A and B are shown apart, each in its own frame.
Chain A
Amino acid sequence: MIGRQRHCIALEDFSREELLLVLDLAVSMKEVLLRPIKKVPSLRGKSVVNLFFEASTRTRSSFEIAAKVLSADALNWTSASSSVTKGETLVDTARNLEAMRPDVLVIRHSAGGAPGLVAQHVNCAVVSAGDGAHEHPTQGLLDCFTIRERLGSLEGKTLAIVGDISHSRVARSDLHAFTKLGTTVRLCGPPTMIPAGVEQMGCTVTHDLRTAVEGADAVVMLRIQHERIGDPLIPNTREYSRLWGLNARKAADWLKPSALILHPGPINRGVELSPDVADGPHSVILDQVQNGVAVRMAILYLLAGGDPAEAKA
């Protein structure tokens, strides 16, 4: 359990205290991860199934390593197609996997709400590794962890999220988590990429990159899909990059010297981020990847039945 949460499906459902519980525990988990011998017996005899209906290398690997560091057994089940196109339904697939008695089922799916549907039909804990454009809760938590680690606290800070907010589950999880932890969130992107009524989630919206990033303590740059057939949101990546991409000159002119740049990956170099910014002094992109393992360790530990007090001791 994470506070009152049996699953980790949406940060919208998490209280501030539950978010902090995970973030605090992840600090201890990161210490474990940085040891020369990266193995603790905390989840020995427990098993984690990664059920991925959408291609993902880093998130799946991150969950797999997180499980293995904690001594849990990890099984990866990748389905090339979801039940939208294939015979077996999602519920059937999940029930079949549950019959193998995993403790945690990690699911990535292209349909918003899919992990919640599975959670209604299985008894084990369900962790979303991203569902459609809904949420990517562990990414939201690792973004919080990364900024908190660097800046000490999230209270009173300002975060800008730039890119295709409409299609971004990362943006939604970030919005829920950061606003609950006292951070002011600004969204930025072309009007076609700002979803209807998003201000009601407690953020401001601008279409001007400079307005968004000036004075911000951290900036999340989202990946831009090169093409969305039948629903053109931008003329091309050239114009996008000129108006909403960050390069070294804009970073030098507009960013605070201490500002952090995050990206959920994989980066389109030269589109949303120029290479010199992606690899430059503001970037904490590789920290995010490492912290992702620590955050996922904390989540798996709590949901597979670990006691937070014991982990810290």
Chain B
Amino acid sequence: MSNVIIIAGGRVIDPASGVDGVRTVLLRDGKVAEVAERVAQVPGATVIDAAGRWVTPGFIDLHVHLREPGQEYKETVATGARAAVAGGFTSIVCMPNTTPVNDTLAVTELILARAAAAGLARVYPCGCISKGSKGEELAEYGELKAGGCVALSDDGKPVMSSALMRRALEYAQAFKLPLTVHEEDLALVGKGVMHEGASSTRLGLKGIPGQAEEVMVLRDIALAELTGGRLHIAHASSAGTVRAVREAKRRGLPVTAEVTPHHLSLTDEDVAASGYSTDFKMSPPLRSRADVAACVEGLADGTLDCIATDHAPHSPVEKEVEFDAALNGIVGLETAFPVCLALVKAGQLTERRLIEALTSSPARAFGLPGGRLAPGDPADLAILDPGAEWLCSAGSLHSKSTNSPWKKRRLTGRCTHAIVGGRLVHEGGKET
């Protein structure tokens, strides 16, 4: 007896297969079996009526913080994976800045064991670039790769040593692991807590210029050219970064980049308007309107490959404090789709490009399975209601933390079903 799900009547948007139209999708034994205008009935199949909805490959997020091990009061692998599927993400890459950091097989294995027990999204660990994320010695990439790590990062911190970065880009090639890098020149960041500009001046907060990111992006592009290593720029936020990546790609260098929903939609002016709300504090910071426009343009033209949330849960202990003292980061898995859908409605992004940037583009950047709905592909899907209106609140979010700049705001667009490996792992989105 085979396990069959039929998704009928929805608009299938699958950029990697070039499909955009009403189709019926038949999933069998954890794989996509058929995507066609008409599909023969299968007795005993579960049928999901997707009329009026979008049916897409499950979203893939290359940048998530799950906080386990060490900070389970903010998020666990299970709660993070729950938030992921609620947001339409069927695969997530979790950053290694846990406590302890993921620079050893034991931590990688723990994360994978917790993810398997949760049985929700597919969780792909990212290992450390350097031992202890201290920026001094290389971590054991061979062991991390064997354990299941799909990328390397010292996320949260830049690799300040150019020499170490060079060796990391070289050594990682033996394992075909991309380096996903948090780009900030710490000397230029100083004690900065938000983007430098008229808003930081008005608030009297220390500013961080976009160039703090750009100088490191330019350095690492130069090192990628030197080494041939695979460089992925995490959370691009400045116009200069977009320009540098565009130029690097034009020259054929092995560089990819991601951008977050918040860097596509919010600016430093929103920090000022929020009255020092720490839900608007993250690294890199929300930048100027011109930077946001450059990021949107970069995403639309493919310079920035994909959308990644940088989902960074924190509790009120870290957030209900002075802006200077608050930790960086916001939750993002459950708001990514509606926030980015607003760009489509504003005419800044096509539907096809939006879905591509959430599915096949991230899959390609890290060489992950999924991101496409061709026969034989993993049965990882999201069903989305682009018209659903809902209130973002502690009650409607599945994450353990609620540090979101969209809290108490109404959003339009929501995931109604998520399927991972042919199993329905999320059904909801009805509550408003």
Contact = CB atoms under 8 A, between A and B. Distances in A.
B324 A196 contact: no
Contact of B203 (A112, A166, A198): A112
A64 B202 CA distance: 29
A82 interface: yes
Contacts of A166: 201
B380 interface: no
A135 B201 contact: no
A254 B153 CA distance: 58
B338 to A, nearest CB: 27
A111 B206 CA distance: 10
B201 A196 contact: yes
B202 A172 contact: yes
A196 B275 contact: no
Nearest to B187: A230
B201 A111 contact: no
B408 to A, nearest CB: 14
Contact of A111 (B190, B197, B198, B322): B322
Contacts, number: 77
Interface in A159-182: 166, 169, 172
B267 to A, nearest CB: 13
Interface string A62-95: 0000000000000000000011100001110000
Given A172-B204, A196-B207, A111 B325 contact: yes
B276 A117 contact: yes
A270 interface: no
B47 interface: no
B275 A201 contact: no
Interface in B298-336: 320-325
Contact of B322 (A117, A195, A196): A117
A231 interface: yes
Interface stretch (A126-134, A144-152, A255-263): A126-134
Interface string A19-59: 00000000000000000000000000000000000000000
Contacts of B215: none
Nearest to B207: A196
Contact of B325 (A83, A195, A197): A83
Given A132-B205, A133-B205, A135-B204, A113 B275 contact: yes
A236 interface: no
A107 to B, nearest CB: 11
A112 B207 contact: no
Contacts of A172: 202, 204
Most chain A CB within a 10 A radius of its CB, from B197, B202, B203: B202
B184 to A, nearest CB: 16
Contacts of A200: 198, 201
A112 B271 CA distance: 13
Is the interface on chain B under 10, 10 to 19, 20 to 34, or 35 or more residues? 20 to 34
Contacts of A125: none
A169 B199 CA distance: 14
A83 B276 contact: no
B200 interface: yes
B196 interface: yes
B405 to A, nearest CB: 16
A186 interface: no
Nearest to A84: B325
Contacts of A230: 190
Interface string B165-209: 000000000000000000000000010000011111111111101
Given A111-B322, A197-B197, 16 more contacts: A83-B321, A84-B322, A110-B324, A112-B204, A112-B205, A112-B276, A113-B203, A113-B275, A113-B322, A135-B204, A166-B201, A172-B202, A196-B198, A196-B201, A196-B207, A201-B198
23 contacts: A89-B320, A90-B322, A111-B322, A111-B324, A111-B325, A112-B203, A112-B276, A113-B203, A113-B276, A116-B276, A117-B321, A131-B204, A133-B205, A134-B204, A135-B204, A166-B201, A169-B204, A172-B202, A195-B201, A196-B197, A197-B198, A200-B198, A201-B202
Interface of B: 190, 196-207, 209, 275-276, 320-325
Interface of A: 12, 82-84, 89-91, 109-114, 116-117, 131-135, 166, 169, 172, 195-198, 200-201, 230-231
In the complex, the 6 A-B pairs of residues with the closest C-beta atoms, listed nearest first: A197-B198, A113-B276, A134-B204, A133-B204, A111-B322, A195-B201
